[in-house]
Structures are given as structure tokens and as C-alpha cells.
Structure 1
Amino acid sequence: MRSLALPASLFATHRFAAVQRVTGVLLMLFSMTMLPPLLISLIRDEGVAYAFAEGLALTLLTGVAVWWPVRHAETELKTRDGFLVVVLFWVVLSTFGAIPFYVTHTGWPSFVDAMFESTSGLTTTGATVATGLDTMPWAILFYRAQLHWLGGMGVIVLAVALLPMLGIGGMQLFRAETPGPMKDAKLTPRIAGTARALWLVYVMITLVCAWVYWLVGMPLFDAICHAMSTISTGGFANHDASIGHYQSLAIEIAVMVFLLVGAMNFALHFVAWRSRSLLVYLRDPEFRAFAVTVLVLSALVCVPLWLSGTYDSFGTALRMGMFQLIAYATTAGFATADPTPWPAYVPLLIVLSGFMVGCAGSTAGGVKMTRLVLFMKQAMREMQRLLHPNATIPLKLGGKTVPDDIVYAVGGFFSVYVGLTILLTFVMIGTGLDPVTAFSAVAACINNVGPGLGSVNATMAGVSVFGKWVLIVTMIIGRLEIFTFLIVFTPGFWRR
């Protein structure tokens, strides 16, 4: 009798064999991330170990089932395949990451709530639909922070460091996942070396952050969890009152410092560490724009708080204003106060800061400071061209001429980003939110900030089911910087 088994060559020539193979490997790798919270629950006898065991088993078995049929496929991963893997993986990973939340029902009574929390964690948004964090099991709290930490540098970038060992190339994944307008710069000759270098810096800064938090008064477990949330600029906290729970100026200062570190380009951290010089930061035009913007926005927030009498002293206004500004601007979303009732333009300015401050190559969301600088330089160049129509005016950044195709791409990105934010705001208004709350919810999710204003400041549990699904998609769109997500929905993407 002739065998009905399909030949391996059929999978090897299948168009999506490489995508299927990589997705299966990444799912298997992700399943291992549920081991630490499982062990924590077993050690502390918290009664939620079963949730992580189920999540690990389902994720691992699914990964094996996806990978096994194409394990011998030798097809190359093309550029468009990289985009598809990244989009698929963030959606699939968020879905499987929701399993422990949904199974325990600790603070997430429905699947959409569990999916919201998982997506918010992995995209480093930090918006939550849960309350009662102070009494939650340590395993759940650690898992939330771990999702942030893995999503911060990007699980895909971690995979790029490991996939060459498995015989799978990773440059296409790196280009699709890495945030910022310039994605081809390498810190080392090989792209896997670049990914490993970035992760080395990421791990070291996280360890230093946890150590500092412990020194200034955080309990060790809180210090570890908050360090992962801080360096990833995520914002999940172990307490309902967030960082305000500690009522400690020293802790707040430490958090602000490390949030700024997390919102800076990690490639810059690597170069500064390798050259043993802090002058690297001062020479970088994006860092200078970043520092000036933070200082200017801090003054625009703190001075009105003082003059309006919102706080009794300038010191308190400075403390509260700077913390909230830096938390929103770096897209972390930690909190010591609710900025909603603050005077004049301050609440809106704080929300808008999440659009502009984070640097390219950082864990922060938003449009990225590099794009903002290029956008402003292009505006100045267009005004110069009005005065000198025949002049050739190059656009330079850091002493180097920026190709026009990057400049045009930045302009297109701004247009789509703003247009999509407006469109999604109208959609959220249609779910029953008032215009200000709807805009702040969309801004919080597309910029991966976390808290909004009003009823969506501390929790988004009050948003409708449809609204939560809209915000879940918005978080993924923001994390993948729009085009990586939208491109897979174009007809041209699916043509051979």
C-alpha cells in the first residue's frame, strides 16, 4: 500500500514554512518563561502553580505541533516573512501569555481581561484592568513584571540572539522588531552579536536598578519586580497605589533616574560602556534633544502646579510634577498622583509627552525623539527652500547627512500615527467614553504609556468589552510602530 505521508520536501517548498518553523521555535522558547513564577508559587505554596503549569504545557505543546512538520525545512526567512513572524508572534504570544491570568481568575474574570493584561505586559504598556494587587500571589506579580521585562527589549530581539544557534537567520526579525527609523545599524559585525550585546546591557542595568531600589528601602521582591518594570518602561507595580505606596522621596528619585535610562537608546549605553566614556551621551544629538525636552516639559508642568496652589510648596510641586511627567514621558506610567484634576493644560501636556520623549532603540513607546528631531529639521529645511528655491540643502543629524528616503518615511510615519490616533479616538468615543477620556486611553495604548486620564487613570476595567479589544489591538500597533503591523494587511504583502 502506498504511504499517505506527505514528503518533507512539500513543507520545505511551502511559502510559509520558514514562518511556521520560527514561530514554533519562539513559542517553545516562550513556554520556558513560565517556569520562574511556577517555582515561586511552589516555594511559597500560593496555590496558583497549576495555572503556570497549564500555560507552560499548552504553549510548549503548541510550539512543538507548529514546528514539528517543518523541522527539516531549509527555506530562507525573507524580509516579508520577518514582518509576518513578528506580528504573528506578538499576537500569539499575548494570547498564550494570558493563560495563567485567565486560569487563576485572580483579578481577571474574563478572557478579554486576561488578554488585555498579557498584551499590556508584553507591549510594556502597563495599563491594567485588575485591582487588589497588594494581596495578589507573588507568582502573579512576578509574572506581570517578567512580561514587561521580556517585551521591553523585545522577545524577538532575544530570539535573534538565539536563533543562529538553531540554524535560523535573524536579520529580518531584527529589522521588523527594532524600534526607530534607522534599523540597519549594527553594534557588532554579526546581527546576533548585536542582539546579545543589547541584552547584556539590558540585563546589567536591570540588576543595578534592582540593587539600588533595595538600597533605598524597597523590599527585595518588590525591588526585583519594579526593576524589571522600570527598565522596560512598562509600569506594572506590586501595589494598587503604584510607587506612591512607599511614600519615599529616595525611591521616587531612583525610579525617575532609571526610567530616563530605560527611555534612552540602549545602543548608546553599549557604546558608552565599551568606550568607558560618558561623553558619548553628550555627543549624541538625540540624547541632547531628549534631555532638553525633559527639562522644558518639567518646567511647564511644575511651575503651574506651584503657582496654582495645587501643592503647598514648590518642593512638593516639583516632586509630584516631575515624577508624573517622567513616568508618562518615558511611557512607563508609574504613579504617585492622579494628574487628571491638575490645573490648566498640565494633564493634556503630560499625556502628549508620551508621544515624543522616548528615544529610538529604547524600551519606550511613542514616535521616538529621533523622528521628532528629523521632523523639525525637515520643517526648517522646507522654510529655507521657500527662500532659496534652487539651493541644495542637506539634512544632517549628528554631522551625518540623512538620506531623503528616511526623511520621507518619517513624514509618512507621523501622518499615519496622528491619523490613526484620531480614528481610534472616535472609535473609543463610540464605546461610551467622553472625548478626553477616549483620547487619553488611545494615547496611553498606542504610545504604550499605560494610564490615561479620568476613569482610565488607575484601571481600564470600566472600558467596554469591545473597547478593550480595540485597545488590545492599539497596544500591539503601537509596540510594532504601526507599519510593521499594517503592512501584513495590504494586498501587495501576500503576492508572490
Structure 2
Amino acid sequence: MRLGVVLRYVGIIMLVVALFMLLSAGVSLVSHTDSGYYPLLLSALLTALLGAFPLIFVDRTEQLSSKEGYCIVVGSWIVASVVGMFPYLMWGGEFSLVNAWFESVSGYTTTGASILKDVEALPRGLLFWRSCSTWLGGVGVVMFALLILPSLGTNKALLTNVELSSMAKHNYHYKASMIAQILLFIYLGLTFCSTLALKLAGMNWFDALTQAMSAVATSGFSTKNASIGYFDSVAVESILIVTMLLASIHFGVLFATLTGRRNNIFHSEVTRWYLSIVAVVTVVVAGSLYFGGVYDTVAGALRYAAFQVVSLISTAGFATADTTVWPATAIVLLISVSIVCGCAGSTTGGIKTDRFLLAIKTLRLRFSLQQHPNAVVRVRIDGNVLDDKIASTAVVFIVAYFLALLAGTVVGTMCGVDMETSFSSSVACMGNVGPGFGMVGSLGNYSDLPAVMKFSNTMLMLLGRLEIFGLVQLFFLKWWR
């Protein structure tokens, strides 16, 4: 493996990150040169210098190996998280080294968990940088670079295949270059439409853009301490529910729906399952809220239940209510959807509805084979027979996912944190959801957690965003063939 080539491409990603830091500095400048201007400007210059350095000394190559492509993708995520700390550290405030790392990783992985006790104390430039980091992370820092840098040439196909999981590729029937264009088209389109709709619903342009960027990235970074509850608007909540739902459906399916192709929302079995789960859980949670006396009206219970269910299953993590005081039935269901989450090929984290459905069908298949050992039965999704390797990989992923949750919970309890907080924070970080329960509730934050647990949670965020095997394989490069 050519380390210099890997560093060259990671350097290109850093230049993209520097561009968004510079854009955020521009927001600070427009906002009467607020206190975020110089930290953002200096961070942009430092990141640009670090990114340009390997470009000067390493020649461009037309062909990458699969190992190099893998290291570029994983290395870009880690390096982007490191340089993403610079603006926070230079600004100071609540951002210690651990806190800055936590906030940066949380942004890029679209987890949306925060260590900030007072989000509104941040200058507009830094608030915009938080939104930029999470918006970049939503579509993928590598994928974004593939879209805006034509100089990457034939290597686009390799990097696209590495960036997308096998489950995400299922509904894409296009060339690698076309996949990247579809991602950008849907991503920008959702961001634009959501921003415009939120502005029409009464937000100012800054809040509308930042909330839209966060919703489309299914992150949940808000500019307000009370999250979306600050706006107390049914119109705003309805717009965000639609945005979060669309952003959590496979982008290839959304594109097929817009272009009139067959593999659209109405024909996608996974999408039907996903929307059915949302509907059923919303009704049950609303019932528990109404009959539990949390809300006096059915309409009120449905309003808050719908928003929180969609927010957590889409891994956006926005909040309009303090869910830590909700009935046990509601809490269990919210934790459950935080584990399953949205569809592959979207900006969501978690196990994904695709794997959940595949696991159910594999279990049913196993029961059928027990009764009819000689039968030839295959797992099908959307009428297509799935390779046995895909099914077995999905099951292995789910087992590894729960082992990671167990490890995160154990670390939390060893740090002296209660079981509810330890488990729910592990679920929230591993699934890139954001809010959990206990100390890290929907209207709380992660600031009071021990430093060791904060670092452990960032590892869970990266594991979840890189779908476990992506990050783990980095430690076994020498055994690659």
C-alpha cells in the first residue's frame, strides 16, 4: 500500500473541510465579526495547509488499490473529525480537548449528541460550522469530494463502492458516477425545499437553513437549547417530520419515485415496512401518553408522539418534549426504534430496517427448513432473491452491533454512571441518534458524563457511522491480501 497516495487523497478531503470552515468564517463576518470569526478563519488556514502539503509532494495516480481506497475513506472520516476540533478548541468556552473531540465526531457522524449546556451562547459562525460538519457527514465527506472534484477521475468508482455499504447499494442500479450525482441531487433538493418551507413557517433564514441541514443529515444539531421545542409550532414540526422521513428512506428509492421508475416508494418492501413501523409505534406511544395522563388530548399526544418517534427512528434526534418523564411503554418503544432506525442508502444510522427485515425473513426461513428439510426456499426482498452471503453478513452485523452496545454499557457502568444512562447513551451513539434517557435525555446533553465515557461514546459513533466492519478492519490491514 502506498501511504503517500492515501495521504494525498485525505489531503483533498481536508481542503473540502477547510472550504466549509471558510464559509462559516464568512457567516461570522456577516454577523458583525462575532467571536467565532478568527477561530474559524485560522482553522480554515491550518486545515488547508495540512491538506495541501501531501498534494505538493505526492504525484497524482490514476489507479488505486482496494486497500488504498479503503484507507482513504476511513482515514478521511477520522482526520476530518480531528481537524473539525480546531474551531472549538480555538474558541474555548466549554470545549476542552475531550469535549471538542466529542462535538466534532458527533457532528461528522450525524449523531447530534452535544456536550454544550448552552448552545445559544455560541456565536453564529460556530453554530453554522456545527451544521456544516453534520451536513458534510450526512452525505459523507468522501462522497461530497467525489461530487465536486472531477480531478479524481476513474478512482471515483472505487471510492464510491468503498463508501457505500452492501445494503445501501441494493437499490442503486446505476454506475458509480451516477450514484454520486443522485445522492447530491436528492440531498441538495431536500435541503433547499426544507429550508424554504421552514422560512415560510416563520423561521428566520439562519435558523431555517441550519435546522434543514441538520434534518436532512438526520443529525439533530439545533441552534436552540430547547431544540425544536423552542419554536412551538405545529407547522415547523410537520415540515421537519416530512423532511426526516424522506431523509431516512433510501435515496435511490426517492430518485426512482421522482423519475417514475418501478423501484419507488410505493413498490419498495423495505420502505413499506419502515413506514408501517413508524405508524404503529406512533399510535402505541400516543396511546401510552394519553392514557398515562401526560397529555390531556388525543391530538396533543399524537403531535408529540409522532415527532419524537420520527426523530429517533430517523436518527435525527430533534426534541419537542422531555421524553425522560414519559411512561415506560413509550420509553421502551423509543429505545427500540433507536436501534432499528431508517433504511440503508439514507443518512440514518442504526441496524437499518433492511437488515431488520432480512433477519426476520431469515428466521422464518430457518423455521420452514426445520419443518421441511428438503425444501428449497430463498430469502426475497422486493421480489429479488438475495444471496446467502448478504443474509449471513446482515446477521453477523446485528450480533456485532449488540456486542458493541454491551461493551459501551459496561464502560459506562464502570465509570459510575447509572444503567439507564449507560445503555441508552450507547444505543444513541452507536445508532447515531443523539438523545437517550436518564442524564442524556432529549432536552439534556452529554456534558456531565466522565471523560472516559465520552471517548467511548465517540468510538461507538464512528463504529455506527462506518457500519462496524469499516472501522474494525483498519486494525487488520497487514492481514489483507
- TM-score bucket (shorter structure): over 0.9
The reply on whether 1:84 has 2:71 as its aligned counterpart is yes
The reply on whether 1:259 has 2:244 as its aligned counterpart is yes
Distance (Å, rounded) in 2 between the aligned partners of 1:188 and 1:378 = 28
Q: Shift in Å at residue 487 of structure 1?
A: 1.0
Query: SS state of the match for residue 183, structure 1?
Result: helix
Q: Shift in Å at residue 48 of structure 1?
A: 2.0
Check whether the contact 1:22–1:168 (CA below 8 A) recurs between aligned residues: no
The reply on whether 1:63 has 2:69 as its aligned counterpart is no
Which residue matches 1:332? Answer: 316
Check whether the contact 1:153–1:232 (CA below 8 A) recurs between aligned residues: yes
Distance (Å, rounded) in 2 between the aligned partners of 1:268 and 1:56 = 36
User: Which of 270, 277, 290 is equivalent to 1:306?
Assistant: 290
Cα RMSD of the aligned pairs, angstroms, is 1.7
Check whether the contact 1:356–1:368 (CA below 8 A) recurs between aligned residues: yes
The amino acid across from 1:98 in the alignment is M
The superposition leaves residues 473-494 of structure 1 with CA deviations (integer Å, 9 ceiling, x where unpaired) of: 111111001010111112x644
Q: Shift in Å at residue 416 of structure 1?
A: 0.6
User: Which of 391, 394, 397 is equivalent to 2:375?
Assistant: 391
The superposition leaves residues 329-352 of structure 1 with CA deviations (integer Å, 9 ceiling, x where unpaired) of: 110110011211211222122022
Distance (Å, rounded) in 2 between the aligned partners of 1:112 and 1:220 = 32
Q: Shift in Å at residue 428 of structure 1?
A: 1.4
Which residue matches 2:34? Answer: 46
Q: TM-score, normalised by structure 1?
A: 0.93
User: Which of 428, 444, 457 is equivalent to 2:412?
Assistant: 428
The amino acid across from 1:426 in the alignment is V
Which residue matches 1:35? Answer: 22
Which residue matches 2:257? Answer: 272
Check whether the contact 1:394–1:401 (CA below 8 A) recurs between aligned residues: yes
The reply on whether 1:101 has 2:88 as its aligned counterpart is yes
The superposition leaves residues 290-340 of structure 1 with CA deviations (integer Å, 9 ceiling, x where unpaired) of: 111101111221111111111111111111111111111110110011211
Q: Shift in Å at residue 180 of structure 1?
A: 5.4
Distance (Å, rounded) in 1 between the aligned partners of 2:344 and 2:478 = 26
The amino acid across from 1:453 in the alignment is F
Q: Shift in Å at residue 82 of structure 1?
A: 2.2
Which residue matches 1:352? Answer: 336
Which residue matches 2:169? Answer: 183
Which residue matches 2:145? Answer: 159
Change beyond 3 A, Cα 1:77–1:448:
same
Check whether the contact 1:80–1:493 (CA below 8 A) recurs between aligned residues: no
The amino acid across from 2:112 in the alignment is G
The reply on whether 1:474 has 2:463 as its aligned counterpart is no
Q: Shift in Å at residue 34 of structure 1?
A: 0.8
Change beyond 3 A, Cα 1:140–1:172:
same
The amino acid across from 2:354 in the alignment is T
Q: Shift in Å at residue 168 of structure 1?
A: 5.7
Check whether the contact 1:107–1:132 (CA below 8 A) recurs between aligned residues: no
Q: TM-score, normalised by structure 2?
A: 0.95
Q: Shift in Å at residue 69 of structure 1?
A: 2.2
Which residue matches 1:111? Answer: 97
Which residue matches 1:11? Answer: none
The amino acid across from 1:221 in the alignment is F
Change beyond 3 A, Cα 1:180–1:140:
farther
Q: Shift in Å at residue 187 of structure 1?
A: 4.6
Q: Shift in Å at residue 162 of structure 1?
A: 4.0
Unaligned runs of 5+ in 1: 1-13
Query: SS state of the match for residue 149, structure 1?
Result: helix
Distance (Å, rounded) in 2 between the aligned partners of 1:186 and 1:17 = 32
Distance (Å, rounded) in 2 between the aligned partners of 1:273 and 1:159 = 25
- Structure of greater Rg: 1
Distance (Å, rounded) in 1 between the aligned partners of 2:303 and 2:168 = 35
% identical aligned pairs: 33
Which residue matches 2:399? Answer: 415
The reply on whether 1:291 has 2:275 as its aligned counterpart is yes
Q: Shift in Å at residue 185 of structure 1?
A: 5.9
Check whether the contact 2:191–2:213 (CA below 8 A) recurs between aligned residues: yes
Which residue matches 2:347? Answer: 363
Distance (Å, rounded) in 2 between the aligned partners of 1:163 and 1:40 = 24
The amino acid across from 1:273 in the alignment is L
The superposition leaves residues 24-82 of structure 1 with CA deviations (integer Å, 9 ceiling, x where unpaired) of: 2211222111121111111222132111111111111111223322124x363222222
The superposition leaves residues 247-301 of structure 1 with CA deviations (integer Å, 9 ceiling, x where unpaired) of: 1111111111111011111111111122289x82110111101111101111221
Q: Shift in Å at residue 392 of structure 1?
A: 0.7
Distance (Å, rounded) in 2 between the aligned partners of 1:43 and 1:214 = 19
Which residue matches 1:16? Answer: 3
